[in-house]
């Protein structure tokens, strides 16, 4: 890491990213949007891949390549022409409901997209590090909690399977080609900028701002880990800054492949909604429980011990402050 240090909202940062050519796929999503913004603040030369022009809450300041991450020739050209050093592969179909209705497009995006990006990076002489966004859903519906990185990947339903497969593909490229590939498995992200109102946090906040009762699609008992988006971005950057010794090096010198990140504080969907109502002073708005969700994992949460010990990662905001910042963002956005 570089010697000089600056600050982004009070966070000590290095010069590691200054003028570094970085590619971000999935840049119009929640994680991608915040990550591109932070990389810009740190002085990176950012290129993003966008398949479709979609509504986004973020002002994107980056070079834009219009194309599909499943297009091998396109990805190789983007990496080569922009002299990419670090790749954050975040592009994916991220909604369980959409995956249940459209499994083939989900598999195409999440599985083929992953091997295409990794193969393009393998062929590049310049790419040094690839971060692949997996998910806690990759573990499947396990009976032993919390998940540690050594748990098997046992997705059963379309979305979960797509993340298990993408995760294993990343492992294969690391083991077979000694590429510096790392995989993130995070709790459910929340934060300003998520315009998918079917998700519990933005949907609940919007309902409260409008004076309406929030809607819970499930029966409210599903248990999840949560992670505020800025803490998640810090984790991505910290992981990407970890570099191996000078080449050649064995795969073992790269450290673990998979990394869990969460607050290690699981809550049910109903409790999550109640906490938002309390934080917004509208406990009178009782949620409408539809009990219509299907193919959902009942309970899951993560252990982040490995990240805390080896990466020295600690959340900068935590759940309560992160939620206050999230509520403030949506109040301003919806005003």
Average pLDDT over residues 222-239: 96
Instruction: State the pLDDT at residue 293.
Output: 78
Mean pLDDT of 55-80: 91
> What is 227-287 written as a DSSP string?
EEHHHHHHHHHHHHH--PSSSS--GGGG--SEEEES-S--EEHHHHHHHHHHHTT-TTSPP
* Encoded tokens for 145: 């909690």
pLDDT of residue 252: 60
Find the CATH number of the domain harbouring 160: 3.40.50.720
Q: pLDDT (tens digit, 9 = 90+) per residue, 114-138? A: 999 999 999 999 999 999 999 999 9
3-state helix, strand and coil shares in percent for the chain, rounded to the nearest 5: 40, 20, 40
Tokens representing 189?
């992200």
SS3 138: helix
Q: Number of folded domains in the chain?
A: 1
In-domain check, residue 240 = yes
Active-site entry in 159, 226, 263, 330: 159
Within-domain flag for 203? no
CB 140 within 8 A of CB 147: no
177 is an active site residue: no
- What's residue 1's pLDDT? 30
**Under a CB-based contact definition with an 8 Å cutoff, are residues 90 and 25 in contact?**
yes
Collapse the DSSP code of 199 into the 3-class scheme (helix H, G, I; strand E, B; otherwise coil) and give the result. Answer: coil
* In-domain check, residue 53: yes
Residue 144 has pLDDT above 90, yes or no: no
Say if CB 214 and CB 203 are below 8 A apart.
Answer: yes
Residue 107 covered by a domain = yes
Return the closest-CA partner of residue 136 out of 39, 50, 260, 47: 260
Query: Phi and psi for 98 in degrees, rounded to 5?
Result: -65, -40
- 63-66/45-50 β-pairing: parallel
DSSP string, 12-79: EEESTTTT-EEEEESTTSHHHHHHHHHHHHTT-EEEEEESS----SS---SEEEES-TT-HHHHHHHH
Q: Are 205 and 255 in contact (CB under 8 A)?
A: no
Determine, yes or no, domain membership for 279: no
pLDDT tops 80 at residue 214: yes
Residue 285 and residue 238 in contact, taking contact as beta carbons nearer than 8 Å: no
Q: How confident is the model at residue 197 (pLDDT cuts 50, 70, 90)?
A: very high
Looking at residues 76-83, what average pLDDT do you find?
A: 98
pLDDT at residue 241 greater than cutoff 50: yes
In a domain, 214, yes or no: no
Residue 122, in any domain of the structure: yes
- The pLDDT assigned to 248 comes to 54
Domain limits at 98?
A: 5-189+227-263+299-317
pLDDT over 70, % of the chain: 93
Residue 271 falls inside a structural domain:
no
b/e burial code for range 12-50 (CB count within 10 A of at least 16 → b): ebeebbeebbbbbbbbbbbbbbbbbbbbbebebbbbbbb
């Amino acid at each position: 890491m570089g010697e000089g240090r600056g600050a982004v909202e009070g966070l000590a940062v290095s010069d590691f990213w200054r003028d570094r050519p970085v590619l971000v796929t999935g840049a119009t999503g929640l994680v991608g949007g915040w990550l591109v913004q932070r990389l810009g603040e740190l002085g990176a030369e950012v290129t993003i891949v966008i398949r479709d022009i979609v509504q986004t809450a973020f002002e994107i300041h980056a070079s834009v390549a219009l194309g599909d991450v499943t297009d091998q020739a396109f990805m190789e050209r983007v990496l080569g022409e922009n002299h990419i050093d670090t790749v954050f592969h975040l592009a994916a179909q991220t909604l369980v409901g959409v995956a249940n209705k459209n499994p083939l497009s989900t598999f195409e995006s999440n599985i083929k997209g992953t091997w295409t990006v990794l193969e393009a990076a393998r062929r590049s002489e310049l790419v040094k590090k690839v971060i692949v966004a997996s998910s806690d859903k990759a573990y499947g519906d396990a009976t032993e909690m919390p998940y540690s990185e050594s748990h098997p990947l046992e997705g059963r339903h379309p979305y979960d399977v797509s993340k298990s497969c993408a995760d294993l593909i990343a492992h294969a490229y690391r083991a077979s080609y000694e590429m510096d590939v790392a995989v993130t498995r995070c709790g459910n992200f929340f934060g300003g900028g998520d315009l998918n109102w079917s998700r519990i946090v933005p949907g609940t906040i919007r309902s409260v701002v409008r004076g309406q009762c929030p809607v819970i699609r499930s029966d409210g008992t599903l248990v999840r880990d949560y992670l505020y988006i800025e803490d998640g971005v810090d984790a991505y950057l910290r992981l990407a800054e970890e570099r191996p010794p000078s080449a050649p090096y064995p795969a073992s010198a790269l450290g673990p492949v998979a990394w869990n990140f969460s607050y290690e504080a699981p809550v049910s969907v109903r409790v999550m909604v109640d906490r938002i109502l309390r934080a917004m002073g509208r406990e009178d708005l009782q949620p409408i429980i539809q009990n219509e969700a299907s193919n959902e994992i009942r309970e899951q949460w993560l252990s982040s011990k490995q990240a805390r010990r080896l990466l020295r990662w600690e959340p900068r905001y935590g759940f309560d402050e992160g939620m206050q910042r999230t509520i403030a963002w949506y109040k301003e956005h919806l005003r």
